[in-house]
């Protein structure tokens, strides 16, 4: 049962999430090379983050030059 739950969490499809308002919370990989923001902390795009995942507002992410993750378009 635990394995099934874990598998379902790993296969979360981020593409069905609606775009947030500027005050919404988004997630970024806290590294110099990261270019994207994510609507879900479980997005496939964050799986390769070797740094910490940071939660911030969409407005702040955009001000840092981040764009929406390709998995979520």
Give the residues across from 21 on adjacent strands: none
User: What local confidence, expressed as pLDDT, does residue 72 receive?
Assistant: 83
Domain coordinates of the chain in residue numbers? Answer: 2-72
pLDDT, tens digit only, all 73 positions of the chain:
666 555 555 555 555 555 556 678 999 999 989 999 999 999 999 998 999 999 999 999 999 999 999 988 7
Question: In this structure, what are the phi and psi dihedrals at residue 18, rounded to the nearest 5 degrees?
Answer: -80, 150
How many Cα neighbours within 13 Å face the side chain of 60?
11
User: What local confidence, expressed as pLDDT, does residue 54 receive?
Assistant: 96
């Amino acid at each position: 049962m635990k394995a099934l739950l874990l598998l379902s969490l790993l296969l979360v499809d981020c593409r069905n999430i609606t775009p947030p308002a500027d005050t919404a919370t988004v997630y970024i990989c806290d590294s110099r090379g990261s270019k994207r923001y994510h609507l879900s902390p479980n997005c496939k795009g964050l799986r390769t983050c070797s740094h910490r995942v940071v939660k911030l507002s969409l407005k702040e992410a955009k001000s840092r030059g981040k764009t929406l993750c390709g998995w979520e378009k």
